[in-house]
A and B are shown apart, each in its own frame.
Chain A
Amino acid sequence: MVKHVMMWLLPLFITAQTGEEIAKLVDERKTPKDMIVDLTMVLTNKKGKTRSSVLHSVSKDGGKKQMIWFLSPKDDKGVAFLKIEHTGKDDEMRLWLPAFKKVRRIVSKQKGDSFMGSDLSYEDMTNRELDEYSYKLLGQEEIQNQDCYILESIPKQEVKSTYSRHVTWVTKKDYNIVKEESYDRTGRLFKTKLFKQQNIKNYTVLKEIFVENVIKRHSTLLIFDNIEVDTGIEDSQFQEKYLKRLPK
């Protein structure tokens, strides 16, 4: 009898993965060297009022170097943003203000500060370092017609984070993230994020992100269009002087 049961359970043990293993597989997904994309950002407040902007983004090294130009609304056209992430020192961020004809450095001391008025914070925009979190597999669930692992990530004590934990739905098939819930330091559900992906040149890249700040009932929808990958952008393109030139 025992033998019989073991025969049934064995495949489960063989295929089971730990939280750490899943997180590692997510981290190791193949990403493009650089990416050019048009972004539509729609912000919606709790009363359903919206603000929309269209942006043009050029990024490299998984977003560690990035330039964003505002194409619309009219009043924002020409405003441009440059970000270069550094390891071990503050990131470099600059903003071109066409009406003042000035470039201004900006610094966000808080990782939880909003990025460009959206519900995404700088922390949300930064790749999580694998060893800064502890992981736990909470279970499995089908979501958006895909079988997913439910992965819990808790920042280690020494890591400064605005979150106490994240619960992420990772597809079993290709380890893409389709949903994430992030909890604040008091343990309250803070943000819910939904992701849609598409395949371009053998890469799985984002097609749409929807983030809702559950507490403030404010949401952000980011739609990615006209995506180009591996275009060969040079590092030298990420300089202050290029901010002033609106791409055609």
Chain B
Amino acid sequence: MNFAIKDWFINQALDHPKRTILISILLTAFIGSGVRWVVIDDDILKMLPEDIPSRVLWDEVQDEFGSIDIMFVTFGKQGQYAVNGEILAAVWDVSYALEELPEVDEVISIATLNRMDSDNGMMLISDLQAARDLTNYDVQDIASYLDRNPDIKTRVISRTGEFTNIVVRPFTNGDNKQLANKVITVVEKYLAGFEVHYGGQPYIMGKIPEMIRDDVPILMMAGLIIMILILLANLRSIPAVGMVISVILFSAIGMMGFMGWVVRLTGSDRFFFTLANVSMPIILLTIANSDGVHILTKFFREMRNRKDARKSIRTTMNALMLPIFLTSLTTAAAFSMLLTAPIKPLTGYGVTISFGIAWAWFLSSTYLPAIISLKKWKMDSKAVTHASFLERVIHRFGKQILRHPKRVLVTGLVIVLIGVIGIFMVEVEVNFVAFFKPGNPIRESIEFIDREMTGTMNMVVRTKGDMKNPETLNNMLAIQEYMEQDSEVTTTISIADIVKQMHRVVMDDDPAYEVIPDSVGKVNNLFTLYSMSGDPDDFSSLVDYEYRTGIITTMMRTVSTNRIADFVRGIELFIDENIEADLNTDITGLLVIMRDFAHLMIQSSFTSMGASLFIIFVITWIFYKSGRWGILSIIPLTAAIILNFGLMGFFGVDLSHVTAILSSLIIGVGVDFAIHYIAQFRNFSRNGVSKESISREVVDDVGYPILLDAGSNMAFGALIFSTFLPLQYIGGLMVFAMVSCSIGTLTLLASMMEIFKNNLYKT
């Protein structure tokens, strides 16, 4: 950093502290005023890239056939058969109330289903449930119809017979959260006294943002309080902690305001605050905390020696301006790698947090020294005169490490190598159920519907061909039969099933005719017959208007994306080997998209990690004018990344898009320690500290702020207590990143620099 600029900053802060504070606060307030334009968009599906092939296909299918993502409401009473007058009246009330919701395209339940009967040469299409209040005879008639049509019964009655299902099909591209909440409101109005379970993608996707909103503020506040307590215990000065916290809060206000201003000025949805941005304030808090902690601990140490606040802050800022600038620059550069991310919100994330980091640096370099210089510090306070607990710990810890540097280095490398083995055990997996802790109501509902009903997930096979051609229809049935052999598939439905049913009805309900007719003419006659009394839209979710494209909808239990990948491969192989006709098939569904999306994100996260490491290396090289400093700066970080994935492998934490993104963020919070260590080593080596004692001095000097910084940031480990796994992972990762990067710096880096100090001293 240019000395003139450095001096200007320090002089501004220390010679004109009030002006500097005022300008900093006014600028923060101005930028922060953009907060009013921050747009919160918590639709998870909007985060999925629109150009991955399975998503393109999914959109095409939804455009043609309506939404394929359905929500389930399952209710009943234990020990009571669901087909009874009371439950059917409730089904009626709920179904028709749900149909009134503007978000709902269609409701499928006993109350809304049609029945197809054959009566003395007559095809009778009528309502399965004709009225709300039914006689015993009507109830028996419905029960017997369902018994005669097990495929239909599976969709509406549970395995045990105690629960009935209402399927809610929303309009495409609707707001899942709004839908889920409105459906629940209707259900609560009519189904008091029943055991109710919810499921389906819109429900899960709609409830996740709510859970995050419930969890994050409480856990973040808890984290912030723990952070303050840790800082208080070590700094032992309320004003000092207040100063650090004010830098943190001003940085966060600046960052959020910046986000709002960009939306205001550009209208770009890349800068909407989405679920991907939830980790952003937490990450910024830790980075801003780091700057403040380094400045205040150094300041107190200097005060202990110099007994002069003004001189101490000047010395502190002289020593730390460059490393703080460098850590901010490298961190911002690492985050800017998110610009290459395949999902829109992450590009905005990268730019926004880079601004937040820059703002934290600006405040740490101006506002913080200014406010420190204004305070009348008591020279006899414990904060100044006594070393804190952590300071004493690091003093002893440093001694041990530097006594046996080679042993420490070898031990560290062995641990990293073990981590490498763990990497090979990492499984790429996205499982929605595993997003929730056992016992969580959402998880329990999903598991109930998976166990008792048709399952909460679905997949679609789009088939292109002549949908009135018996060969095409028979091929669809063959694919369905193959899929139904899978233990996770509960049922499948296509237009071929309807043709079979119509054929049987036309042939006087003879079960022998529950097959596809043998000619196009017959199939066509069946459709014409149906159109005489059925609704023209009855088949719109199964076949397109021109009978050229149909879909097979597969209902299945919630499975992982790995399992889905195997399943899809199996279907594709079956089609290749067994279907000869001109039938083009494509497979999609949310799970298939999630599989593709997870792979894309993992690939992108690794690219981003590699690029970030390279940029940090280059920046350090340029500033310290030597490649060896560049290499040393990324050693603890590289070790932390390896250990992160290694431990995931050993402890069975799946590598998903969520864990991959968050792991790539580890770089942002972990890069600082090594740079501070290197900066102080160089500083001491140029200022006369002897080669023999230099490592000892550096560990004593930066070891404490590194540990305090890491320790206080670990407070955000409180997120581990979230009921939502990705939030737990942010918490866990925060603790892990802090431990691994700080210990890595104070062991691996410290021992390496001690071993190679002859080559590093005064370079």
B140 contacts partner chain A, Cβ-Cβ < 8 Å:
no
Task: Give complex CA distance A216, B535 in Å.
Answer: 11
Task: Give complex CA distance A114, B528 in Å.
Answer: 12
Chain A residues near B525: list those with CB within 8 A.
Answer: 79, 97-100
* Contacting pair A218 B537 (CB below 8 A): yes
- Encode contact with B along A111-153: 1 for CB under 8 Å, 0 otherwise: 0011111110000000000000000000000000000000000
Which of B126, B127, B519, B521 has most A Cβ within 10 Å? Answer: B521
* Residue on A nearest B532 in the bound complex, by CB: A106
* Contacting pair B532 A116 (CB below 8 A): yes
* Contacting pair B506 A108 (CB below 8 A): no
Task: Give complex CA distance A109, B506 in Å.
Answer: 18
* Contacting pair A75 B100 (CB below 8 A): no
Which of A45, A100, A109, A119 has most B Cβ within 10 Å? Answer: A100
Q: Nearest Cβ distance between residue B484 and chain A, in whole angstroms?
A: 29
* Contacting pair B545 A47 (CB below 8 A): yes
Chain B residues near A105: list those with CB within 8 A.
Answer: 120-123
* Contacting pair A107 B533 (CB below 8 A): yes
Q: Nearest Cβ distance between residue A213 and chain B, in whole angstroms?
A: 9
A93 contacts partner chain B, Cβ-Cβ < 8 Å:
yes
* Contacting pair B506 A97 (CB below 8 A): yes
Chain A residues near B537: list those with CB within 8 A.
Answer: 216, 218
State how many residues of chain A have any CB contact under 8 Å with chain B: 35
A-B Cβ contacts below 8 A, count: 88
Chain A residues near B536: list those with CB within 8 A.
Answer: 43, 114, 117-119, 218
* Contacting pair B529 A99 (CB below 8 A): no
Chain A residues near B126: list those with CB within 8 A.
Answer: 109-110
Chain A residues near B64: list those with CB within 8 A.
Answer: 47
A95 contacts partner chain B, Cβ-Cβ < 8 Å:
yes
- Encode contact with A along B81-122: 1 for CB under 8 Å, 0 otherwise: 000000000000000000010000000000000000000111
- Encode contact with B along A32-66: 1 for CB under 8 Å, 0 otherwise: 00000000000101010101000000000000000
Quick one: given A47-B545, A51-B546, are A116 and B524 in contact (CB under 8 Å)? no
Chain B residues near A109: list those with CB within 8 A.
Answer: 124, 126-127
B534 contacts partner chain A, Cβ-Cβ < 8 Å:
yes
Quick one: given A49-B546, A110-B127, A216-B537, are A99 and B524 in contact (CB under 8 Å)? yes
Task: Give complex CA distance A103, B525 in Å.
Answer: 11
- Among B122, B468, B519, B544, the residue within 8 A (CB) of A106 is B122
Q: Nearest Cβ distance between residue A45 and chain B, in whole angstroms?
A: 5
- Among A43, A70, A108, A119, the residue within 8 A (CB) of B528 is A70
* Contacting pair B121 A104 (CB below 8 A): yes
Q: Nearest Cβ distance between residue B365 and chain A, in whole angstroms?
A: 60
Which of B100, B519, B545 has most A Cβ within 10 Å? Answer: B545
Chain A residues near B528: list those with CB within 8 A.
Answer: 70, 76, 79, 95, 97
* Contacting pair B506 A113 (CB below 8 A): no
Chain B residues near A93: list those with CB within 8 A.
Answer: 532
A102 contacts partner chain B, Cβ-Cβ < 8 Å:
yes
* Contacting pair A108 B125 (CB below 8 A): yes
* Contacting pair A114 B545 (CB below 8 A): no
* Contacting pair A104 B545 (CB below 8 A): no
- Encode contact with A along B541-578: 1 for CB under 8 Å, 0 otherwise: 00011100000000000000000000000000000000
B434 contacts partner chain A, Cβ-Cβ < 8 Å:
no
* Residue on A nearest B524 in the bound complex, by CB: A75
Q: Nearest Cβ distance between residue A36 and chain B, in whole angstroms?
A: 22
Q: Which B residues from 478 to 519 make CB contacts under 8 A with A?
A: 506, 517, 519
Q: Which A residues from 162 to 219 make CB contacts under 8 A with B?
A: 186, 216, 218
Task: Give complex CA distance A98, B520 in Å.
Answer: 12
B144 contacts partner chain A, Cβ-Cβ < 8 Å:
no
Chain A residues near B521: list those with CB within 8 A.
Answer: 75, 98-99
A81 contacts partner chain B, Cβ-Cβ < 8 Å:
yes
Chain A residues near B532: list those with CB within 8 A.
Answer: 81, 93, 95, 106, 108, 115-116
Q: Nearest Cβ distance between residue A221 and chain B, in whole angstroms?
A: 14
B763 contacts partner chain A, Cβ-Cβ < 8 Å:
no
Q: Nearest Cβ distance between residue A94 and chain B, in whole angstroms?
A: 9
Chain A residues near B125: list those with CB within 8 A.
Answer: 108, 113
Chain A residues near B304: list those with CB within 8 A.
Answer: none
Quick one: given A47-B545, A51-B546, A99-B525, are A108 and B533 in contact (CB under 8 Å)? yes
* Contacting pair B535 A49 (CB below 8 A): no
Task: Give complex CA distance A51, B545 in Å.
Answer: 8
* Residue on A nearest B122 in the bound complex, by CB: A105
* Contacting pair B529 A97 (CB below 8 A): yes
Chain B residues near A218: list those with CB within 8 A.
Answer: 536-537
Task: Give complex CA distance A79, B530 in Å.
Answer: 13
B758 contacts partner chain A, Cβ-Cβ < 8 Å:
no
Chain A residues near B124: list those with CB within 8 A.
Answer: 107, 109
* Residue on A nearest B540 in the bound complex, by CB: A45
Q: Nearest Cβ distance between residue A189 and chain B, in whole angstroms?
A: 15
- Among B121, B127, B522, B531, the residue within 8 A (CB) of A114 is B531
Q: Nearest Cβ distance between residue A164 and chain B, in whole angstroms?
A: 15
Q: Nearest Cβ distance between residue A3 and chain B, in whole angstroms?
A: 56
- Among A49, A81, A102, the residue within 8 A (CB) of B545 is A49
Q: Nearest Cβ distance between residue B138 and chain A, in whole angstroms?
A: 14
Chain B residues near A102: list those with CB within 8 A.
Answer: 506
* Residue on B nearest A118 in the bound complex, by CB: B536
* Contacting pair A100 B546 (CB below 8 A): no
Task: Give complex CA distance A97, B529 in Å.
Answer: 8
Q: Nearest Cβ distance between residue A76 and chain B, in whole angstroms?
A: 6
Chain B residues near A43: list those with CB within 8 A.
Answer: 536
Quick one: given A114-B531, A118-B536, are A45 and B522 in contact (CB under 8 Å)? no
Task: Give complex CA distance A218, B538 in Å.
Answer: 13
* Residue on A nearest B544 in the bound complex, by CB: A49
* Given A81-B532, A107-B123: 7 more A-B contacts, CB < 8 Å: A47-B545, A93-B532, A97-B528, A108-B125, A113-B533, A113-B534, A118-B536
5 residue pairs A–B, Cβ–Cβ below 8 Å: A51-B545, A95-B529, A104-B529, A109-B124, A109-B126
B residues with a Cβ closer than 8 A to A are: 64, 100, 120-127, 468, 506, 517, 519-522, 524-525, 528-529, 531-537, 544-546
Closest 5 pairs between A and B when the two form their complex, measured CB to CB: A99-B521, A117-B531, A105-B122, A75-B524, A97-B525
